[in-house]
Amino acid sequence: MRLPSGWSVRRPTLDDVPAILAVVHASDIAAVGHPDFSADDVREALTAPGSDPTRDSWLAVAPDGKVVGWSYLEDAVTGIRESVTVYVHPERGVAAERPLLARQLARSARRAAESGADRTTVRAMAVPTESRWIATLRAAGFGFVKRYARMRRSLAGLSAVPPSPPAGVTIRPVRAADEAELRTFHRILDTAFRDTDDHQPTSYEQWRARVAALPSVSWDEWLLAVVDGEPAGALRSADQNLDQNEGWVKALAVLRPYRRRGVGAALLGHAFARYAGKGREYAGLGVDLTNPNQPVRLYRSVGLTTRYEVDTLERTVEAASGVDEVVGEGEPVK
């Protein structure tokens, strides 16, 4: 699987962020009609714990020297499953799509071997209308797993004063300087998601390393729910969509004994009020439509509607040893 004559690949650095973002935005606009990634998202992908851009990421470069494609691995902390993402410029970078994917799958095979595993599961995401990308994934052995929805609501006219929570429920920001409370926050997130098939448990230390690597954290938007004096729920916000003036709910978790008591809605109400108080125009989140707890019903009840949907596809990659560097004009993938 070769790149066209005159094309090349190389590893990205943080100096490439503007060029990468231009490719990502062009790809996003073609797929969903608007940019859906920021410069901070690019930096986060290149600096995330467990990911090494000198081995886990590639840039495709056209003969004129312009970056026209970017690929990388993520979610690889546990070694159980990782995700591959490939962006190509929809007009100038299509020829790099399959070669970049092949390089990433080869890297996944080597990562599995390095960790002592026999194989690993690799996932990829595709908007249902991205027929070319889906065809590329299917040709590489990927099959459909599930669908996610990207949801959003307007915050126009919303008060910065949050609604009153149900009796016995208190919502407050997490105390970021309190190590014990951060451990409680992590425990709630880790425990509540264990009844979903996508959950990959991480230690507190791994989680803290991920948080420390984030470009920015708005701690006042990380909320803890206490029910009758006991920690019961957590909402983690992310700064990833600030360029769209959108507050983003990265994770919402309620421990099983406290579900169906209005805790999740109270956390969302407080988050939306905080976003509105900062002048944000929208609130958004992503949801697994196959989650057995059916959180999409809660999200619809608080005014969120589907903006677009994304399919998850996956395949198994057998472990294989080898070198990471496969570079140069028209070089075959090894």
Structure tokens given for 169: 């429920």
Considering only 8-17, 18-27, 239-248, 325-334, which range has the smallest mean pLDDT? 325-334
Alpha helices in 33-126 (DSSP H): 39-47, 53-56, 97-115
Q: What is the pLDDT of residue 78?
A: 52
Q: Report how far residue 127's alpha carbon sits from residue 30's, in angstroms, rounded to the nearest whole number.
A: 10
- The pLDDT tens digits for 232-273 are 999 999 998 888 899 999 999 999 999 999 999 999 999 999
- The pLDDT tens digits for 277-327 are 999 999 999 999 988 888 999 999 999 999 999 999 999 999 998 655 443
pLDDT at 83 exceeding the cut of 80: yes
Q: Report how far residue 188's alpha carbon sits from residue 13's, in angstroms, rounded to the nearest whole number.
A: 35
| CA dist 50 → 20, 47, 78, 253 (Å) | 21, 9, 9, 24
Q: Residues near 297 by Cβ (< 8 Å), separated by ≥ 6?
A: none
| CA dist 237 → 49, 90, 189, 221, 286 (Å) | 19, 31, 13, 6, 12
Average pLDDT over residues 31-50: 89
Provide the mean pLDDT of the chain: 92
CB-CB contact of 176 with 234 (8 Å): no
CB-CB contact of 71 with 80 (8 Å): no
Which residue would you say has higher pLDDT here, 324 or 21?
21
| CA dist 146 → 128, 137, 184, 216, 312 (Å) | 11, 15, 30, 31, 5
Reported as type and span, the H/E element at residue 8 is strand 8-10
Q: What is the pLDDT of residue 74?
A: 86
Pair type for strands 119-126 and 143-154: unpaired
Global pTM value: 0.86
pLDDT at 331 exceeding the cut of 70: no
All domains of the chain, ordered by start, with CATH? 8-147+313-318 (3.40.630.30), 157-280 (3.40.630.30)
Average pLDDT over residues 186-196: 91
- The pLDDT tens digits for 123-147 are 999 999 999 999 999 999 999 999 9
Decide: residue 323, CB within 10 A, 0-12 exposed, 13-18 middle, 19+ buried.
exposed
Average pLDDT over residues 17-29: 97
Q: What is the pLDDT of residue 16?
A: 98
> Band of the pLDDT at 80, cuts 50, 70, 90?
confident
Average pLDDT over residues 14-40: 94
Q: What is the pLDDT of residue 188?
A: 97
- Give me the percent of the chain exceeding a pLDDT of 70: 95
Considering only 110-114, 176-180, 193-197, 228-232, which range has the smallest mean pLDDT? 193-197
